[in-house]
Amino acid sequence: MRTAPSAIAVSPRHRALILAALTLGGFAIGTSEFSAMGLMPEMVKSFGVSEPQVGHVISMYALGVVVGAPLLAVLGGRLPRRALLLLLMGFYALGNLASAAAPTYAGMLVARFVAGLPHGAYFGVAALAAVAISKPEERGKAVSLTMFGLTVAILIGNPVATWMGQTIGWRWAFVMVSTVAAITLALIAAFMPRDRTGAPAHALAELRAFNRPPVWQALAIGAVGFSGLFCVFSYLAPTMLQVTRAPASLIPLGLAGFGLGGVIGNFLGGWLFDRLRFRAVPAILFGAAAMLLLFPLAAGSLWTLLPITVAIGMMGALGPVLQTHLMDVAGEAQTLAAASHHAAFNAANALGPWLGGMAITAGWGWTATGYVGATTALLGTAVYFWAAATLRRRQWRTCEVC
C-alpha cells in the first residue's frame, strides 16, 4: 500500500521558490558527481596515475552514495525535512572543500567517498518534499523537477568544471561546487517551510517495509540498467582524445551532449511515468541499448559522436520513472527508498566505470564501453520483467483475498 508524503499547501510562487532551491542543490551535487569524468586528463597529470585509476576516484564517490544514502536516511528519518536538507547540504559543501584540498591520490579517494555520503539522502528527501507540495496527478513531474538540477549540471556545470580544470586548475571546480552548495543552504533556510512534512520515521519500521522484493527489484533495475550510461560517460574524455582525435578544448562540448540528453530525458521520464507508470522502463532501456551499440561506430567522428552522446544521455529518463515507482511500492519506507534510489544509481556509477575500465585494460579499446553499456542495459530490462511479474502476482493475490 502506498504511503504518500503529507500534503503541504503553498502558493504557486512559494512552490516555485522551494523547487528552485532544491534544484540548485541538485546542480551542485551533479556538478561534483560528474566533474571527475571531464577532469580526468588533468587529474592524471596531477596525481601521476592512469585513466582507469582516476576511474576509481569516480567509483569511490559512488560508493559513498551507496553507503550514505540508506544510512543517513535512517539516522535522519526523525528530523524535519528542512533541518535534514540543511544538514546534508552543509555536509556536502565541506566534503567538496576536502576534495579540492586533497594532497595525494589516496587522499582524493577518501575525500570523494566522504563527499558522496549525503548525495542520495539529499535527493531522496528533496523528492519527497517536492511531491508533498504538488498535485497527486503530477508526482512524476514533481520528481523530475527535483532532478532537473542534476541534468543541468551535466549540460552546464560539468563543462564549466572541465574548462576550469583546463585553465586555472581542477581543484577550483570543487571550490565552485562548495560555493553553490552554500548558496543552496541559504535558499533552503529562507524558503523551505519549518513545519514537519511527514510523520517521524521509525528505523525498524522503515527497514521492515523496505525489505520487500518490489523495492529491491526497482533498485536493481537502476543499479544494473543505468550503469551503461556511466560506462561510456566516464571514459568519454580519453575516447575523444584517442579515438575521435578531437582537441582537448572540445571535451566540454562532448560532455554537454550528455547533459542536453539528460535534460530532455529527465522531463521525458516524468511525462512517461504520468502516462505509462512502471511500463516506461523497458521502452527507455531498449532505446538506450540501441544507442549504446551505435556508440563505437559513432566515436570516430565528432559529427556523429555528439548526437550519440545526446541520445545516450536521454537514458536519464529512467531516473524519474524509478524514483516515482519506488514511492508507490515502498509503503512506510518512503524516505529510505527515495534515498536508496540514488544509492542504486550510484552503484551504477561505480559499476559502469569499473566494467569499462576492465574492458579497456583488457585491450578491447576505448569504444568497448558502448558494448559493455548495451549489455548492462539489456540486463536491466531483464530485471524489469522479473519485477513486473512479481507485481502481477502480488496484485492477483490481493484480488483473490478480496
Domains of the chain: 12-401 (1.20.1250.20)
| Among candidate residues 292, 268, 263, the one with its CA nearest the CA of residue 281 | 268
What residue has cell string 575516447? Answer: 239
Question: Which amino acid is it at 314?
Answer: M
Instruction: Quote the pLDDT of residue 50.
Output: 77
- Virtual CA dihedral for 249, 252, 257, 260, nearest 10 degrees? -140
Instruction: Quote the pLDDT of residue 197.
Output: 45
* Dihedral pair phi/psi, residue 9, rounded to 5°: -85, 115
* Dihedral pair phi/psi, residue 321, rounded to 5°: -65, -50
Q: What angle do CA 179, 194, 4 make, to 5 degrees?
A: 100
Question: Which amino acid is it at 371?
Answer: Y
Q: Return d(Cα 95, Cα 33) in angstroms, integer.
A: 12
Q: Return d(Cα 316, Cα 258) in angstroms, integer.
A: 9
Helix (H, G, I), strand (E, B) or coil at 193: coil
HSE of 392, CA atoms in CB hemisphere, 13 A: 7
* Dihedral pair phi/psi, residue 118, rounded to 5°: -85, -5
Residues 65, 116: contact at Cβ < 8 Å? yes
Instruction: Quote the pLDDT of residue 395.
Output: 66
Q: Return d(Cα 201, Cα 78) in angstroms, integer.
A: 5
Show the cell assigned to 215.
523495492
With a CB cutoff of 8 Å and minimum separation 6, the contacts of 320 are: 140, 143, 144, 147, 266, 269, 270, 273
Burial environment of residue 81 by CB neighbours within 10 A (0 to 12, 13 to 18, 19 or more): buried
What residue has cell string 484480488? Answer: 399
Per DSSP, 301 falls in state -
Show the cell assigned to 284.
527507455
pTM greater than the 0.85 cutoff: no
Instruction: Quote the pLDDT of residue 257.
Output: 84
Helix ranges (H only) for 6-104 are 12-38, 40-47, 51-75, 81-101
Show the cell assigned to 263.
535534460
Show the cell assigned to 104.
595525494
Instruction: Quote the pLDDT of residue 399.
Output: 46
Helix ranges (H only) for 102-146 are 105-116, 119-132, 139-146
Instruction: Quote the pLDDT of residue 195.
Output: 59
Q: Return d(Cα 35, Cα 165) in angstroms, integer.
A: 9
Q: Return d(Cα 109, Cα 152) in angstroms, integer.
A: 26
Q: What angle do CA 78, 84, 89 make, to 5 degrees?
A: 160
Per-residue pLDDT of the chain (402 residues; tens, 9 = 90+): 344 444 566 677 777 888 888 889 989 998 888 787 778 788 888 787 877 777 788 778 878 888 887 888 777 767 788 888 999 999 999 999 999 988 888 888 999 999 999 988 888 788 778 777 777 666 666 777 777 787 788 778 878 888 888 888 888 989 999 999 999 999 998 888 775 544 455 656 666 666 778 888 888 898 998 888 888 888 888 888 888 888 877 887 887 787 788 888 887 887 788 778 888 899 899 988 999 999 999 888 889 888 999 999 888 888 888 878 887 777 766 777 777 777 788 788 778 888 888 888 888 889 889 999 999 999 999 999 998 888 887 666 554 433
